[in-house]
């Protein structure tokens, strides 16, 4: 049912003027694509960094996730969720992936203590500029590869599983780690875990909300965490927002947690602030 819901707006949009809702969606998508295209041309792009903390010691950051942001002409920060659906299947999506990768690799090269995860689409594996950017970035510093994590969603990985598995094997030989993002929200066949060898498993937010009081979420998260442990993956709970959720997840044995409880995404992380010149 989710798959049908996901694609229905696009089908409606093709109907054009005969379907007012479809026409409105199509117009909105065109406006979004124009905004992103203009942002790329004028370099109004940045990463927002969110910490992922250790469950056993939430004062310690295991790594950060770099989340793409677009700035509109007024300087308003627009998160990826507001534009990626409209551009994911287009070359603009690949250009945004390239920009995120360039910024993330530069941050890793400039900050030797930083470990960073970046989102990617399986479609970018076949995009020459993105692959060239990755290869060049890995040569910026001897340790960049071992501090880089590439995140792929379930749905994206399933589009071309064999290509994704081959790409992962090549990059893991260079020290790059891979995270399966939003686990539980997509359509991954468990059998593919034998081929993929993901290093990190990120449990989708829908199973984390109110987990301390929701017995269904407790059972589902416990099962997803157990799958991760069986395949020797580091597990991360997404969207942790309350102390009660964090305490339950820590007791459950989830390795790390990410969410507003521990820090919102920021375009001014501490390592950037530390390098600002001091005023006299």
What are 71-118's pLDDT values in tens digits? 988 889 999 989 888 898 899 999 999 999 999 999 999 999 999 999
Of 264, 274, 270, 272, residue with least CA distance to 50: 264
> Domain ranges in the chain?
43-274
pLDDT in tens, 160-176: 888 999 999 999 999 99
Per-residue pLDDT at 64: 98
Per-residue pLDDT at 8: 41
Mean pLDDT of the chain: 88
Asked whether the beta carbons of 43 and 56 are under 8 A apart, the reply is no
Measured distance CA(32)–CA(92) in Å, rounded: 11
Return the structure tokens found at 117.
């995860």
| pTM for the structure as a whole | 0.87
The CA–CA distances, whole Å, from 149 to 4, 21, 48, 175, 201 equal: 31, 39, 16, 9, 12
pLDDT in tens, 199-246: 999 999 999 999 999 999 999 999 999 999 999 999 999 999 999 999
Measured distance CA(3)–CA(190) in Å, rounded: 19
pLDDT band at 11 (very low <50, low <70, confident <90, very high): very low
Half-sphere exposure of 100 (CA within 13 A, CB side): 29
Of 138, 135, 63, 67, residue with least CA distance to 97: 67
Measured distance CA(51)–CA(37) in Å, rounded: 29
pLDDT exceeds 90 at position 1: no
CATH among 2.30.110.10, 3.20.20.450, 3.40.430.10, 4.10.1240.10 for 43-274: 3.20.20.450
């Amino acid at each position: 049912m989710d798959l049908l819901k996901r694609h229905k707006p696009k089908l409606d949009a093709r109907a054009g003027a005969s379907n007012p809702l479809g026409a409105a969606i199509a117009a909105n998508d065109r406006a979004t694509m124009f905004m992103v295209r203009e942002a790329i041309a004028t370099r109004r792009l940045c990463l927002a960094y969110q910490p992922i903390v250790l469950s056993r010691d939430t004062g310690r950051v295991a790594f950060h996730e770099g989340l793409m942001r677009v700035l509109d002409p007024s300087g308003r920060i627009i998160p990826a969720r507001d534009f990626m659906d409209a551009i994911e299947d287009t070359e603009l999506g690949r250009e945004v992936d390239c920009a995120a990768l360039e910024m993330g690799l530069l941050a890793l090269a400039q900050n030797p203590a930083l470990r960073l995860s970046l989102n990617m689409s399986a479609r970018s594996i076949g995009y020459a500029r993105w692959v060239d950017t990755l290869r060049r970035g890995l040569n910026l510093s001897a340790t960049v590869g071992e501090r880089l994590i590439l995140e792929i969603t379930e749905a994206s990985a399933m589009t071309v599983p064999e290509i994704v598995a081959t790409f992962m094997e090549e990059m893991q030989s260079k020290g790059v780690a891979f995270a399966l993002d939003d686990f539980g929200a997509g359509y991954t066949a468990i059998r593919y875990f034998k081929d993929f060898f993901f290093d990190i498993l990120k449990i989708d937010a829908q199973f984390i909300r109110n987990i301390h009081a929701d017995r269904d979420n407790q059972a589902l998260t416990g099962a997803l965490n157990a799958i991760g442990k069986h395949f020797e993956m580091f597990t991360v709970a997404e969207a942790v927002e309350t102390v009660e959720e964090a305490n339950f997840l820590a007791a459950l044995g989830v390795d790390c947690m990410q969410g507003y409880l521990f820090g919102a995404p920021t375009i001014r992380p501490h390592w950037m602030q530390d390098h600002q010149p001091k005023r006299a």
